[in-house]
């Protein structure tokens, strides 16, 4: 009987502790999130890279399975540049990565063909279907909205113009000014200074876990858009907001701000 009572007391204590933890988690999730400036990643987050993927695949002899490898290679060597202090534009790295993969796979590809395959579609991308509505909703909520990309100044200007998204943003910041790529913490720190905003009043919306990891370490709020094929990095902090598209993120921000 004494053993039974001991077990019951232990169970009740465990249930009480679990309730306390759950309540604490609920309180955290219900905290108000209202940044003063929202920064946006662009490629894949706002703009659909389908045309780029198709162009790269054609350059690689129709090898669709090599397209994700090309993109990760491009990201990989942008970080190699960060570490070694050797800066090349994101477009240049993309072209070089395409040439590299073609050589690895014994696919004939001239430097001119690689350049055309990357640059031509990258400058003329369509927004994801949810983006315009999501941006309109955030604009109506009064947020200052800035693009923050690994692209060049000329590259993002062309992308926003051709996608007809420039009207929704208050400005654009690119790593060209620092000659180092996200997720280097220097990029986020520089961006917040440029916008005269404290880290806790900045938010990054992105479809890339590596980008959000950098913003989180810089002290920013973060929001993850779960674009197809994207996933969170289990060893990084969980984003403040997670949505299937920009509309869901905007709705969550609106609810949180009340």
For 63-130, give the DSSP string.
-GGGHHHHHHHHHHHHHHHHHHT----HHHHHHHHHHHHHHHTT----HHHHHHHHHHHHTS-PBPTT
* For residues 185-207, average pLDDT: 98
Give per-residue pLDDT as tens, 165-184: 999 999 999 999 999 999 99
Instruction: Average the pLDDT over 200-207 and give the result.
Output: 98
Tens of pLDDT, residues 100-150:
999 999 999 999 999 999 999 998 899 999 999 999 999 999 999 999 999
Report whether the peptide linkage leading into residue 183 is cis, meaning its omega lies within 30 degrees of zero: yes
Looking at residue 30, what is its pLDDT? 52
Average the pLDDT over 79-100 and give the result: 97
- Calpha distance 146→169 (Å, rounded): 6
Confidence at residue 7, expressed as pLDDT on a 0 to 100 scale: 37
- Residue 78 is predicted with a pLDDT of 97
Q: Which CATH architecture has domain 35-48+124-257?
A: 3-Layer(aba) Sandwich (3.40)
> How far is the C-alpha of 101 from the C-alpha of 84, rounded, in Å?
22
Instruction: Please provide the average confidence, as pLDDT, over all residues in the chain.
Output: 90
Domain-wise residue ranges, the chain? 35-48+124-257, 50-122
Chain-centre distance for alpha carbon 83:
21
Residue 32 has a pLDDT of 86
Q: Which long-range contacts (CB under 8 A, 24 or more apart) does 138-141 make?
A: 138/38, 138/246, 138/250, 138/253, 139/168, 141/250, 141/253, 141/254, 141/257
Half-sphere exposure of 227 (CA within 13 A, CB side): 22
User: Is the pLDDT score of 23 beyond 50?
Assistant: no
Mean pLDDT, range 58-68, rounded to an integer: 97
- CA–CA separation, 127 vs 94, rounded Å? 21
Span 148-174, average pLDDT: 96
pLDDT, mean of residues 242-251: 98
Question: What percent of the chain is modeled with pLDDT above 90?
Answer: 85
What pLDDT does 28 receive? 38
pTM over 0.85: yes
CATH of 50-122, one of 3.40.630.10, 2.60.40.10, 1.10.150.240, 3.20.20.210: 1.10.150.240
Is the predicted pLDDT of residue 249 greater than 70, yes or no? yes
Sequence-ordered alpha helix ranges (H) in the chain: 2-29, 50-59, 67-84, 90-104, 111-122, 131-140, 153-162, 185-194, 209-217, 246-257
Cα distances (Å, whole numbers) of residue 239 to 38, 73, 115: 14, 25, 36
State the pLDDT at residue 111.
97
| Range 172-189 burial, b when 16+ CB lie within 10 A, else e | bbbbbebebbbbbebbbe
Largest CA distance in the chain: 84
């Amino acid at each position: 009987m004494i053993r039974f009572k001991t077990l019951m007391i232990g169970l009740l204590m465990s249930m009480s502790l679990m309730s306390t933890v759950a309540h604490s988690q609920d309180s955290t999730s219900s905290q108000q999130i209202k940044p003063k400036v929202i920064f946006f990643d662009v490629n894949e987050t706002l703009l659909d890279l389908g045309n780029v993927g198709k162009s790269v695949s054609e350059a690689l002899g129709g090898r669709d399975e090599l397209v994700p490898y090309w993109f990760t290679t491009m990201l990989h060597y942008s970080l190699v540049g960060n570490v070694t202090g050797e800066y090349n534009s994101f477009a240049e790295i993309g072209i070089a990565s395409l040439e590299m993969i073609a050589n690895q796979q014994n696919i004939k590809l001239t430097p001119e063909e690689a350049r055309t395959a990357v640059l031509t579609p990258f400058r003329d991308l369509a927004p994801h279907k949810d983006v315009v509505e999501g941006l309109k909703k955030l604009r109506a909520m009064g947020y200052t909205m800035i693009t923050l990309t690994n692209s060049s100044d000329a590259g993002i200007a062309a992308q926003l113009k051709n996608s007809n998204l420039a009207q929704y943003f208050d400005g654009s910041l690119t790593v060209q000014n620092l000659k180092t790529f996200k997720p280097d913490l220097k990029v986020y720190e520089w961006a917040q200074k440029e916008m005269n905003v404290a880290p806790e009043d900045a938010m990054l919306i992105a479809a890339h876990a590596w980008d959000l990891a950098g913003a989180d370490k810089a002290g920013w709020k973060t929001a993850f858009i779960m674009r197809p094929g994207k996933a969170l990095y289990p060893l990084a902090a969980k984003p403040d907001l997670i949505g299937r598209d920009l509309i869901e993120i905007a709705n969550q921000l609106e609810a949180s701000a009340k």
